[in-house]
Each structure stands twice: as structure tokens, then as C-alpha cells.
Amino acid sequence: MDGFMTTPNLNAERIKKSLEKGKRFDGRKLEEFRDITIEYDVSKKAEGSVKVKIGNTEVVVGIKMDVSAPYPDSLDKGNLIVSAELLPLSSQRFESGPPRIEAIELGRVIDRGIRESKFIKFDKLCIEPGEKVWTVFVDIYSINDDGNLLDAAGIGAVAALKAARIPKYDKEAGKVLYGELTKEKLPLEKDIPIVITSHKIGNKVIVDPTREEEDISETRLTIGSSNGNISSIQKGDSSALTIEETLNMIDLIEMVEREVFKKIEKFLK
Amino acid sequence: MEFKRPDGRKPDEFRKIKALVGIIPNADGSAMFQTGDTIAIAAVYGPKKMHPQHQQNPEKGTLRCNYNMLSFSVSERIKPGPSRRSQEISKITEWALEPSLMLDKYPNAVIDVFIHILQADAGTRCAGINAASIALAHAGIPMKGLVSSISVGKLDKTIVVDLTKSEEDWEEGEGATDIPISMTDDGKITHMQLDGNISTKQLKEAIELARKSCKKIYEVQKKALKETIKEE
Amino acid sequence: MTENKRLIVIPGEVVVSGAEYLPGEWTEKRGNDIVSLRHGLAEEANKLVKVIPLSGPYHPRRGNVVIGKVENITMNGWVVDICSIDNAFLSIMEVPKFVDKDALEEVMDFGDMVVGKIWNINRRGIDLSIKQRGFGRIDEGIIININPNKVPRIIGKEGSMIKLVKDETECNITVGQNGVIWIKGENIESELLAKEAILFIAEKSFISGLTEEINKWFGERKKQKGAKK
């Protein structure tokens, strides 16, 4: 049951009051994530695919690969293309049509999280310099929105990339033999990038908001980092942050990143 | 000598079927329907007020179906976004489901049905219609009954049910004829398409096979709806 | 079909067969068969067969108490979202005090929640009134949404179920027929406990012996609270 289009002011007041006391409606601490699960092989046709659940929030992410000419400014490197869709099936708030700004932003933030951390070794995705390189497509879809789609998508992207296997490539025919996967995994760094978003509500900061909490978030800060090294940041929504608030959020995310890594470690391939 | 299908099935044997209800908590109704390696999920939102206003129908509610395939549901990636094929199938799905719905109960309203294919091995529109029918019942839409859908066809000279992708691409002899059909539970056809090459006599045979098969699909759909309660 | 047994039926399913049966709510007669038109629980009493839906939107009815959210303010009143296909309208004439036509938002603003009664439904729309005592703008508390088909279960026979929850949590609870519920308690903890209890009842709504289950549930929660201290 979805209820009203946006969280009623009444609930918003209560949530804020509760947060001031350090409590959340579902009993979690401010810096605590809901339960995370990762399931593999959503689609056998993908080179890798996962379903990630954080509480009731669910996303699926699939990896497809293709061979094409490289970009002129990176003749010996493979490519990464990340796209995200907020499907109307996942919430009454999303409508059919071209991607909304939320979906576009989500895709780009996850893209930067992966790209800037140098997680994928693009030079190892070169088949023939100047002629043929692999392009890795990461496609993200929301299935049920109960807040924090962004972090769920980030976990999904990384888990799917780690599980993916490269398909056979017939050099002579110049064709990818989809359905025939080699045993070879994608060339990835050991340290995985994790994207965590923190939200400011009143004078408190939380992570992993439910949709109700997300509705009253005043501003958010998303940080992508791997093994403590920050490689991407996005501040979103329109309230301003003092420098002190910003630094506190950065510290919080650093701690939460370690906790989330522990939670998902057992699921990763 | 009996006709041998690539996966060993008999001509009138369909793939393993699985159905689940309530997989998307935010939706008013939702279901997953799987036939072999083809997996479809459907979510229903509505009835709710139709916007824009000029599209409202004062006599009855409007059913609006949206079918799409995930980019990684097939071997060669599909670029995200609607295609002509997905738009056609969306319309076919609306026509397949509408006769079973009592839309006059909801004038000026719209019922949105979103169908996505997670994994495709032929029969995707059928799996989508099966999932959507269950999801509509789960959403509490008043209906005369469910709609069940299956693809029947012909491989060379043999009439078969539930074709896989490799069977759709059959090239031996007379090749493949693919006939997706949807029927209400009281045996009326609400959707039928055909691609291939078949005689009238064999087409009638195929339709009869579809009728029998749809009854079995219906049992799976019914069971899934009844099980929503047991789980709770 | 025995009177005590409630059968889960799906649309198109034959509930019972026999010329003597009559088709009640959400059923229709086809020949000798009484067929369900909804996914729900079939009930038969005195040969009248009806189906109680398990899901589906709220059907506004005259006399229903509902809780809604102010979506829009017009010259003469407030448009209220009551989680139904159509919005309801609260005219300034249906407010028990004087309303300055130029300052409607001072009485109720966008996003405010209101408890009211549907006093009229016609082709023009659904009319809401807050003239009675206990109705009006909601000042504080929490709002939860449940499946409106479960409201009778939440309220219980002669209000017994909701009274149980009120007593155990010491909260004021107003249940809208449209599945929107307002909880106001001494503190947030008791409000959240009431919320949990109500969601639990809604989930288990179909089982028999629900009252016992709820009592057991409250007992266990109290023990947990005691253990925490």
C-alpha cells in the first residue's frame, strides 16, 4: 500500500522529533543500515546480474558487454556505460516516459563512483588497440522504492561487475558469442568502490533512509570511496551545509562504508 | 516416430511454470510468472484518477498496459526505452486483458499495469499477460475471471505448445510457426497472433491445444492467488 | 459450504452451485453457479453468497468517517485526498466556526491532515464535513495507511479490537473507513507500538482467534520492554 503521494507533515514532525532523540521509527540507530541481501543471476542472458534488497527497497542490475571501436581519446581502453531507470512499477511516484532527473542523476553518480575509483582496469579490456575494445554496460532498474535507491544501486553495480564473466569473442568473424561465457572475469581492482549517501534532517544526519525519511531529507551528501580513498562526491537537494556539517557527514560516511562492506562481503563473488 | 524437441519435451508438454504474488510491496497488486527460462513481473497501480482529464472516459475506467524488456533480459542488449515492438505488445496486452475486467465500475479512472521481462526465452508476451492477470486480481480489480496465455505453434509438421527461442528459429522442413494465444477461463479468445506457415486444419488443432494448455496455466495462476493468504 | 468456513476465492471461480443460492456482493449468478468477481473471502448465510474483498480501493460511502490530506485550497473550501479514486471536498460551510474567505489556509493549509465525515456523495463529488465534535484539523500524532478492506477487522466486533489496542498503548486512535489511521499518544514509543499492533492485525486479519494472538503479541512486547530496562 503506497498511501499518500508524499509523507504527511504530521509524520514528518514526529520523525524529526524522534531523530532529535537519536531514534528512528523502525528502531535503527542513525548510522545503521537495514538488512542487505544480494541474489545472483536475475537473468541468465546477462553477463552478470544481481538483485539487491535493502529492507524493502529492491533494485536489479545487469551487465552486458559488447565489442566496438574505441573512443578516439582512449584508443587502447575499454568503455563503461552506466544507465539507470526508475521504473513506474516500483512506486506510484514514478511515471512512464523519458528518464527523470532523479534517474539520470542516479546513473551518473554510480558511474562516477565506479569510474573515478579506477575499479575497472580499462586497459585490460582492449582487444586490438585502435580497433576493438570491450564496452561494459551497467543497467540499473528500481523494482520497489522504499528509500535509498542510490546506495542499493551502487551495491548492485559492484556485485554484478564482480560476478560478471566475459563472453567468447570470435575475432575472425568479429562477433561476440553471447550465451557462451568464458571463465574469465572482468579485470577489476581488489578494492571495491562503495557509494554511501547521508541525509540531513533537522540537525541530525542519517544513512539509509526509508522513503518516509527520504521525503523529509533537507539535503544529502553521497560519497563513493574504496578502502578509505574518496573518489567521488555528490551533494544533492537544495539546503545549504556548513563546513562543520559537511565534515561530520564525511566522517560518518567513512565509518558507515566500513560497516556496509562487512554486511555485503559474504555475498560478493 | 514421435517428434523430438531440442529439450526433450513432448509436443503437448510445456516448460516448468512458476507464479508468485505480491512481489512488489508498493504496488496495489503484483505478480511474477515464469515459463521455463522466461520470467515476467507485473505491477498494478490503480484504479486512480485518469490524467490528463481529456483522456478520461465517463462510461468506464481505462486499462493502460506498459510492456518492456530489461536491457539484459536477452543475449544482445536492448537499449532502454520503448520500442515499436514493446508498444505493440503493450496494446495487445490491453486487448487481451480488457474483456475480463469490469471497468464500468470505475468511470474516469485508469488502471496502470506495468510488465517487465527480466529474462527472455520466447513467450514473453504470454508470460506478461499471465503475470498481469494475476496482479490485477491481487489488486482487487473486479473481474469476470482470469486470462491465461500460452504460445502454441508448429515445428516443421508437428503442432507444439510453448516454444522456446531456439524453436522459434526452427529452420528444418516447414520451419516454425508461432501462435501466441490468450483465453479467458471460460474459453473465449482475447488475443491471437500468428507468424509462419500453417494450414487451416492444423491451425484448428493448435487452437485446441492452446485451449487445453490455458486451462492448466489457469490452475497455476489460481494457486498463486490462493497462496497469498497461506503465507501471511 | 459450511457457515463457519470462509473460502478464499478468485475472480471467475464458482463459489457454490445450486438454484437456491442468491448472488450477493461481488458475485454473479451464471446458470446455477454463484461466481466470484473479486479476489476475496466467500461467505454464505441464509443462501445469500457474498465475497469480502481482500484488496481494492476504498469506496466512499455516506456517513463514513475518513482521514485525508489537504491537496488544494479553492475559493470556497479545501480539496482533500482521501486515498480514493476521487478527492473529497470540504466546503467552508461545513466548518463549525467562521472562516475568513481570504484566509482559508489559516484554518487548514496544504499538507494538513483532517478528520471528517462524508455527508453527501453525488455526481459532482464527495462532500466532507467537520462540524461534529472530534473532527477537524489534526494537530499532532502519526498517520498510517492500511488496506481499507481490513478496516472492519482493525475496528473489531463493536470496536473491541481497536479498544484493545487503545488500552494497551494508551493512545487515542481514530480509524478512517478509508484505511487512514491517526494515532496520538503520550510519547512516540507508544504511538509506534500502536502502529506496529495495527499493522500486525491488518496482516493477520483473516485468521480466527485474532484477539488471542494480539493479546499474546502485546504480552511479548511488554516482556521485551521489561527486559530492556
The residues pairing with B155 across neighbouring beta strands, listed in sequence order, are B158, B176
Nearest to C37 among B102, B106, B109 (CB): B102
Residue B12 lies in a domain: no
Which chain B residue lies closest to A67 (C-alpha atoms)? Answer: B76
Q: How many domains does chain C have?
A: 3
**Residue, of C128 and C224, whose pLDDT is higher:** C128
Domain that holds residue B167: 17-231
Q: Are the CB atoms for A164 and A80 separated by under 8 Å?
A: no
**Does residue B213 register a pLDDT over 50?**
yes
User: Across residues C210-217, what is the average pLDDT?
Assistant: 88
pLDDT at residue A205 in the model: 96
Q: What percent of chain C has pLDDT over 70?
A: 96
**Residue, of B133 and A6, whose pLDDT is higher:** B133
- List the beta strands (DSSP E) in chain A: 36-40, 48-54, 57-68, 79-85, 126-128, 132-144, 165-170, 175-185, 194-201, 204-207, 219-226, 229-236
Q: How many domains does chain A have?
A: 1
- Residue corresponding to grid cell 503493450: B90
**Does residue C225 register a pLDDT over 80?**
no
Nearest Cα residue to B121 out of B214, B4, B7, B3: B7
Nearest to A89 among B27, B37, B119 (CB): B27
Q: What is the CATH number of the domain that holds C100?
A: 2.40.50.140
pLDDT at residue C84 in the model: 92
Cis upstream peptide for B47 (omega within 30°): yes
| Burial grade of A150 (CB within 10 A; 0-12, 13-18, 19 or more) | buried
Residue B185 CB-half CA count within 13 A: 24
Measure the CA–CA gap between C45 and C32, rounded to whole angstroms. Answer: 17
Q: Which positions in chain A touch C192 (Cβ < 8 Å)?
A: 25
pTM of the model: 0.94
CA-CA-CA-CA torsion for B171, B172, B175, B176, nearest 10 degrees? -80
Nearest to B24 among A46, A49, A144 (CB): A144
Q: What percent of chain B has pLDDT over 70?
A: 98
Nearest Cα residue to B164 out of B2, B1, B5, B58: B5
Q: What is the pLDDT of chain B when averaged over all its residues?
A: 94
Q: Does one domain contain both C146 and C221?
A: yes
Q: Are the CB atoms for A260 and A194 separated by under 8 Å?
A: yes
Residue C153 lies in a domain: yes
pLDDT at residue A260 in the model: 96
Residue B92 lies in a domain: yes
Confidence band of C151 (pLDDT split at 50, 70, 90): very high
Q: Which residues contact C219 (CB under 8 A, 6 or more apart)?
A: none
Nearest Cα residue to B192 out of B178, B213, B209: B178
pLDDT at residue A50 in the model: 98
Q: What is the pLDDT of chain C when averaged over all its residues?
A: 91
Q: What is the CATH number of the domain that holds A33?
A: 3.30.230.70
Q: Does one domain contain both C182 and C219?
A: yes
pLDDT at residue A148 in the model: 98
Q: In which element (H, E) is residue C205 found?
A: none
**Does residue A110 register a pLDDT over 50?**
yes
Residue A191 lies in a domain: yes
Residue A116 lies in a domain: yes
Which chain C residue lies closest to B225 (C-alpha atoms)? Answer: C10
**Does residue B216 register a pLDDT over 80?**
yes
DSSP SS3 for B114? strand
Measure the CA–CA gap between C163 and C183, rounded to whole angstroms. Answer: 13
Q: What is the pLDDT of chain A when averaged over all its residues?
A: 94
**Does residue C2 register a pLDDT over 60?**
no
Selected for mutation to probe chain B from A7, A39, A41, A43 (highest B CB count within 10 Å) is A43
Q: What is the ipTM of this complex?
A: 0.93
**Does residue B232 register a pLDDT over 60?**
no
Domain that holds residue C113: 65-137
pLDDT at residue C101 in the model: 85
Q: Are the CB atoms for B39 and B118 separated by under 8 Å?
A: yes
Domain that holds residue A162: 9-265
Which chain C residue lies closest to B133 (C-alpha atoms)? Answer: C11
pLDDT, one tens digit per residue, over A177-205 is 998 999 999 999 999 999 999 999 999 99
Q: Which chains lie within 8 Å of chain B at 3 or more CB pairs, if any?
A: A, C
Q: What is the CATH number of the domain that holds B44?
A: 3.30.230.70
Residue C60 lies in a domain: no
Q: Does one domain contain both C133 and C147?
A: no
Q: Does one domain contain both C152 and C206?
A: yes
Q: Does one domain contain both C151 and C201?
A: yes
B177 Cα to chain A: minimum distance (Å): 24
C113 touches chain A (CB under 8 A): yes
DSSP SS3 for A194? strand
- Tell me how crowded residue A260 is: count the other CB atoms within 10 A of its CB: 22
Q: Do A23 and C188 touch (CB under 8 A)?
A: yes
pLDDT at residue C1 in the model: 42
Nearest Cα residue to C21 out of C52, C49, C43: C49
User: Across residues C39-45, what is the average pLDDT?
Assistant: 93
DSSP SS3 for C201? helix
Confidence band of C22 (pLDDT split at 50, 70, 90): very high
Q: Do C142 and A23 touch (CB under 8 A)?
A: no
Measure the CA–CA gap between B6 and A227, rounded to whole angstroms. Answer: 49
CA-CA-CA-CA torsion for C12, C15, C21, C25, nearest 10 degrees? -60
Interface of B with A (CB under 8 A): 24-28, 30, 37, 39, 41-43, 45, 48, 66, 70-77, 80-81, 112, 114, 116, 118-120
Q: How many CB pairs under 8 A join A and C?
A: 40
Measure the CA–CA gap between A196 and A231, rounded to whole angstroms. Answer: 12
Strands C40-45 and C48-53: antiparallel
Q: Does one domain contain both C146 and C202?
A: yes
User: Across residues C177-186, what is the average pLDDT?
Assistant: 96
pLDDT at residue C204 in the model: 84
pLDDT, one tens digit per residue, over A139-166 is 999 999 999 999 999 999 999 999 999 9
Range name among B228-232, C206-210, C214-218 with the lowest pLDDT average: B228-232
Q: Does one domain contain both C150 and C205?
A: yes
Nearest to C12 among B106, B139, B143 (CB): B143
B105 touches chain C (CB under 8 A): no
Range name among A68-77, B46-55, B103-112, C24-33 with the lowest pLDDT average: B46-55
Selected for mutation to probe chain A from B69, B72, B138 (highest A CB count within 10 Å) is B72
Q: Do A146 and B81 touch (CB under 8 A)?
A: no
C49 touches chain A (CB under 8 A): no
User: Across residues B126-135, what is the average pLDDT?
Assistant: 98
**Does residue B96 register a pLDDT over 70?**
yes
**Residue, of B77 and B172, whose pLDDT is higher:** B77
* Residues 12-51 (A) with a CB less than 8 A from some CB of C: 13-14, 17-18, 21, 23, 25
Q: Do B108 and C85 touch (CB under 8 A)?
A: yes
Q: Does one domain contain both C34 and C112?
A: no
Measure the CA–CA gap between C46 and C25, rounded to whole angstroms. Answer: 14
Q: What percent of chain C has pLDDT over 90?
A: 76
- List the beta strands (DSSP E) in chain B: 17-21, 29-35, 38-49, 62-69, 109-119, 147-155, 158-161, 176-184, 189-192
Q: Rounded to a whole number, what is the largest CA-CA distance in chain C?
A: 65
pLDDT at residue B35 in the model: 98
**Does residue A68 register a pLDDT over 80?**
yes
* Residues 188-207 (C) with a CB less than 8 A from some CB of B: 203-204, 206
Q: How many domains does chain B have?
A: 1
Radius of gyration over every alpha carbon of chain A, rounded to an integer in angstroms? 19
Tell me how far CA of residue A212 lies from CA of A13, A151, A168, A217, B166, in angstroms.
11, 16, 46, 9, 47
Residue C2 lies in a domain: no
Q: Does one domain contain both C35 and C107?
A: no
Q: Are the CB atoms for C201 and C173 separated by under 8 Å?
A: no
Confidence band of C180 (pLDDT split at 50, 70, 90): very high
The one-letter amino acid code at C151 reads V
